[in-house]
Every structure is written in C-alpha cells, then in structure tokens.
Structure 1
C-alpha cells in the first residue's frame, strides 16, 4: 500500500484520494493550497457577503411575520455550538435549531445539546427515530453497505431541509463542508453549497429511502424511513430553500472552534477515547468513533485516528512520526460499543464479521494460513522512506494537538463511561 509522505493517509482512503508524483496526497495538497489561498483571500469581503446573506434572509422573514430568520442543523457538537453562537450573538439572527435524534446517544452528547440550548437560548425542533426503527435500519444498512449509522447521516442531512419547508424558512446555515479538509475534494474558492446530490453521494451511500423500499430484501417500512424522504423540488422552490456553508465565508479551523466553545460556552469533551486521541469531536453518537469507525477499519484498514492525525499533521500540530504512533495505538482497537450493538440487534460477532467480509479491500486485507484476516501493510512500515523529509512541513511553535475541557466537577468524569444501553432522549 502507498501512504502519503506528508500525512498518514493510505492510497485507498475514502471517498477518494490521489497521491501525486511526490507521494503527497490530494488532501494535503488541497490544505496547502487553501492555506496559501487563505492568505490571499479577502476574508473581510467574504464576511460582508455572509452578513448580507443573513441580513437579507432576516429582513424577508420578519417582513412576513415568521419568527425564524434561518435554520441551523445541530447535534450539540463543537461545530454546531460555534455556528449558533456566531449567527445569534455576532449577527443578531433568531435561528431555529433542528436536530435529528438517532437514538444511539451518549450521555455526553445529550449534555452538550442541552448546554447548547441553555447557552444560546434558542428554540429547538428535534425528531426522534423510534429505537426499533433505528436498530432495523442499522442492521439492514450494515448488510447493504457496511454502515450501522446510515440513519444518523441521512437524518441530519435530510430533516433540517424538511423543517425548512415545514416552517417556511429558506436559509439553512451549515458549518464546514467537510470533504475538502479530508481528501481535497473542493477548494475554498468553489463556494460549495448544500444540495440533494451532494447529500445523496456522501451521506446516503447512494441510497434514497425510495430505493430501499423497492428492494425485495428490505424489511423496512415507510414509517421506519419517514424522516429521510427529501422534500420535493416543488416544495423547495416554493420556499426558496438554500443551504450554505459558514466555512466559505469565515476562516475555519475545527480545533480553534472547539477551544472557543470549551472556554466560552461550557462545552465538555470526553476524558479519553478508544479509537482516536481526539476528545472533542463526534461525541453525541456512541458508534461514530466506535463501531462505525471500526467497520471502516475492517473494510479499508484505517480508522479515525488516521483521519484525526492527518489533520493535525497538516496544521503543523503533530509530526508524521507522532501521527504514526497514534495510528498504531488506536486504529485496530475493537470498541466496547460493538457488544452494545450486538446485544441490541440480536446478532453475534461472527454474523457481523461475515457481512463485512466481502467488503474488505483486497489491496490491504488478506487471509493468513490460519484463515484469519490480516493487514498486508501499515503506515508504520513507511516511517523513513524516501521523500518523507522533503514532504515535511514546519511545526507550529508550542502546538497542542491534544485538547480537553477542564475537569471542573466529578460529573464530567462520568460523561463517557462505557455504556450498558443506548440513551434514547
């Protein structure tokens, strides 16, 4: 397997990555380009564009007597907490917060969502999927695409648009586009907006609920899939729904945002994680950094620690050698929440692994003489290969790649204990 000589991504990284002639991946090149571009971009001008969009949206909503100026999709995570603060406190809008409850919650996630509402004093609309539906969807999508959190991604990318139509609120404000940071799919000057096509390709695994219902082997009903039906073109055009990304208009660094909400808005991090060193992202869904990410490892041979460490390397907060150490420590770890899912779904671990077996990437996985799956290669075997020194970027002085909220009370130490059941509400 080829690995990026700057970060720790493998050549088979998803949703798609390219290594150039110098052995540097498209994600690193895109970040490099965006870093240079950020020095050239007139951010003051972009901020004026953002302010104009928000102001015009608020004026139109207030003229027709609608109490909501815009919609902000939220999970209670660091990004959505920051988004709400900026839109309400800096620009003076009255947002309607919209959240999709996947029922695979953590106590920490529930705590941070409640804290977001308390800190910003905003109205929240929250759709909760039936727990039985969540398990049925997770089991079926595990079999179909190897993902137990399809309904979470589908819900958060669909329900806010349904809410926009229902409440007659045209403007939906998202945070970061996302795929630019990981694999270099877009640049800052592309001004990517939220669309049904983008949602379908990257969050829905290519499957709309209508597609699932047409499959002969699908055990799901329209009731199970209710929140995932995207609004019609007619309804979207009638309301004039538009989804924009805040990161197109304001400089964006997830770690900086995390530090801000920790210091100013009482946001709490996890004490520690099994499958990554990052303690401030993906906190609301117990499977996001657990089983969901472990399945990615079983399919492609890398996990969340690779994602997080590559991001830190690109920002100059971690050396490639430190990143490799993090990958070796975390990416292979079997998460405790696998047992929670097996119990809730009535599956055995052998049944789950059998579903994943045909999805394993043969470029990284092979069976040994004992019939056990083993990885053919690891980024740890590529520490000192030719080109690594030439690809290296300078470290930021006094960089801090690890970030935690201060342990202000005993309660925080219990936020991310190993759960024995799902937290539904």
Structure 2
C-alpha cells in the first residue's frame, strides 16, 4: 500500500484520492491551492459571495419571506461559524435547520442549544423516530457497513425539504468536506451542492425508495430522506453553496473565534478514536462509524486529523504517526451500545463487516483472526517523505496554547465544570 509522502493517507482513502509523481496526495495539493501565498484572489471571491447574499436578500423581500437563507446546523464548530459570519458580518437573517439523527452526545446538545441561544435565529429541528432509525441503521450497517447512513441522508435532504416548503432559495454550507480531506475537487470548480453528489457520496449510491421492504423498512421510515422533485427545486430556485469556495477556510482558527465570541466549547476528556477535542464532538456514533472505516480500509479518524495538522505544519510526520498508532486501531467502548440498540451481537457486527475489508490490507491468520498487513507506521521515512515536508509552523498541535483544542496526555485539558464537556457518555442522547 502506498501512503502520501506528505500526510498519512493511504492510496485507498475514501471517497477518492490521487497520488502525483511526487507521491503527494490530491488532498495535500488541494490544501496547497488554498494557501494565501498562491494566486487566489480571495477579495474577488468574497465579492462574488456578497453578490450571492444580496441576491438572496432581494429574492426574500420579493417573496415576502423573513429568512434570507437556510443554514444546516449541528451545533458543531463549523455551523457556529457559518451562522455567526452570515449574521454578524453580512447582515443575513438565516433560518437554522437541523436533522436530528438521534445519536447525539451531551456536548453536542450543549453546543446546539448554545448556538440557538447565542444567534437568536429561528430554528427548525426534525427528530427521526427511534424505531425508524434502528431499522435503517441496522439494514445499512449490514449492507454497506454504515450505521449512520440516515445522518447523511437526512442532513443532505431535510434542509432542501424546508427550502421548498418555505420558498427559501439559498442554502449555505461550510466547507466541502471531501475536498478538504482528499481533494476530490479543485478550488477552481466552485462546486455547489448537487443531487448526484448527495446520492453517490453522501448516501452511498442508494435512494430512500431502494430501502422499502428491506429489513422491515417502510415508506413512513424514509419520509425525511426523500429529496424534492426537480420541478420543485427549479420553481423555488434552490441552490446550495459552500463558504469555503469564497472565503479562506481555517477550521481551527474559526473554532477559536467561536469559543471567544459565542461560547462554543470543546470537550475536556480524551476520546477513544482521535486526539481532536473540538471536531465532530456532537456525533456520538462517530467512534463506531470511524472504527468501521478502519476495519474496511485500515485507517481512521486519527489519520484524518493528523494529516490535516501535518498540512498546516503544526505537526511533524513522526508526531502524526504516533497519533495513528495510539488511536486508529482502538475498538470504541460505544460499540456495545450500538450493538445493543440494533439488537445484534458484537460477533454479528464483525461478521457483517468481514466481506467489506480491503484485502490489500487485511488477511486472516492461521487462527482465523483478521490482521492488518500494512500501516503507515510500518514504512520508513525516506528521501521522498523528507522532500515533501511542509515548512513547520511556530504553532504546535500539542502546545500549551492548544491545550483545549487537542488532547496531550502530558498536558491534558482542564475540566470545565460542565458534565456534558468533562465526561464521556456510553449512551447517546436523542434530544
């Protein structure tokens, strides 16, 4: 297996990754393309963004609508920043829309309530019923190895249902996640949300109606995931744009701004699957979702987070590899929680995943136990990797100034006094 000479991604990284002649991945090249030192006119891009917002305000006024746009929110760092920026800098009046997938952490609920309170914006939240969630999670886990399929389907569908229902044409997302991780698109593409990417990337090639009759799933169960018709989208003139196409995007800096301005709060305990204390902390099932990625493709969330830190120059390759060793292969404690919720055993969970393992990485030993055959830490750091290093930043990931942002066992974060932030929970919170 080849690994990027700069970050830690393997060549089987999802959804798509490409290595160039220098063995540097498309995600690293995309990150380079966003550098302020390269020829990108961010002022011009921001002016394009302002024009889109002015057009949205004009359309809202013509339609007698009090909301200028929709912002899909989870309560995480990015949705805090999106709402803050649109309201405080650009004078927009967004409608906040949440698809509640039911698998929430206490910290996630705390931060979502905080966002609604601090923003003062109108807020719409759809909560999926637990019986439906259980049926869909179980079927999609067995079928494609994803117990959070309903997350992605709901998050990428419900805001469009609300947009059509309320005649709001503009939906504003934060970053284009696949671009930031593996460079699936170019910054020059000005990618917007499409029905095709929703199905092929977010929903793993399935439409909701494909699930009816499978695993007891009914038409009622799939209602939140049915995308509006092309005719309705065209009538309302709905479009979904990404802030990161128009504004220089730095997720860590933005999280720190939200900590100061709107009291967004990281967690203050070590997670089982990564060292980040501020990213994806609202998603209780993320540990299991990420463990599934490791079981299938041989890498996990620590690889994602360490690769991003390496690209920013805040972490060396050696430090990133140490994080991968510490976290990527850990079985999360919450695995039993979700097996119990879905009515399956751990052995059944592993049996379902077995045919999905990448055979380039996984082999059974003589005892019939799956063992990884490769990992980034089994490769020596050679001339190729040395040439690919980025210039180190003065800021270091595990420094004192980042004590609240990243877990350092030698200098753990101070407790906040809030149980939701200070203690991990084995159980999820529906609301």
Pick the TM interval, shorter chain: over 0.9
Residue pairs, 1:152-301, within 5 angstroms: 152-213=151-212, 217-271=214-268, 272-288=270-286, 290-301=287-298
Q: Which residue of 2 aligns with 1:30?
A: 30
CA deviations over 1:68-111 (Å, ceiling 9, x no partner): 11000000010010000010111111110000000011111000
Aligned Cα root-mean-square deviation (Å):
1.5
Report the counterpart of residue 70 of structure 2 in structure 1: 71
Gaps (5+ residues) in structure 2? 406-412
Q: Measure how far apart 1:400 and its partner are.
A: 3.4
Match of 1:415 in 2: 421
SS at structure 2 position matched to 1:99: strand
Partner of 1:5: 5
Change in Cα spacing, 1:424 to 1:3, as seen in structure 2 (3 Å) is same
SS at structure 2 position matched to 1:397: coil
With over 3 angstroms needed to count, the CA separation of the structure-2 counterparts of 1:27 and 1:410, relative to structure 1, is same
Query: Contact (CA 8 Å) 1:34, 1:187: kept in 2 or not?
Result: no
Instruction: Give the Å deviation of 1:135.
Output: 1.3
Partner of residue 323, structure 2: 326
Q: Which residue of 1 aligns with 2:410?
A: none
Whether contact under 8 Å (2:139, 2:214) holds in the other structure is no
SS in 2 for 1:136: helix
Deviation (angstroms), 1:407: 5.1
Find the aligned partners of 2:59 and 2:311 in 1 and give their Cα distance. 41
Residue 368 of structure 2: SS of its match in structure 1?
coil
TM-score by length of 2: 0.94
The question of whether the paired residues in 2 share the 8 Å contact of 1:100 and 1:156 is answered with yes
1:324–1:380 contact (8 Å) kept in structure 2: yes
Distance 2:307 2:280 in 1: 17
Match of 2:365 in 1: 368
SS of the residue corresponding to residue 173 of structure 1 reads strand
1:109-130 CA deviation, whole Å, 9 max, x = no partner? 0000000011110111000000
How much has 1:59 moved relative to structure 2? Answer: 1.9
CA distance in 2, matches of 1:258, 1:18: 29
Q: How far off its partner does 1:387 sit?
A: 1.1
Structure 1 position 408, deviation (Å) = 7.3
CA distance in 2, matches of 1:236, 1:403: 45
Contact 1:312–1:318 under 8 Å retained in 2? yes
Distance 1:391 1:400 in 2: 19
Secondary structure of 1:268 counterpart: coil
Normalising by structure 1, report the TM-score.
Answer: 0.96
Using the TM superposition, give the Cα deviation of residue 416 of structure 1 relative to its aligned residue in structure 2, in angstroms: 5.7
Distance 1:407 1:167, change over 3 A: farther
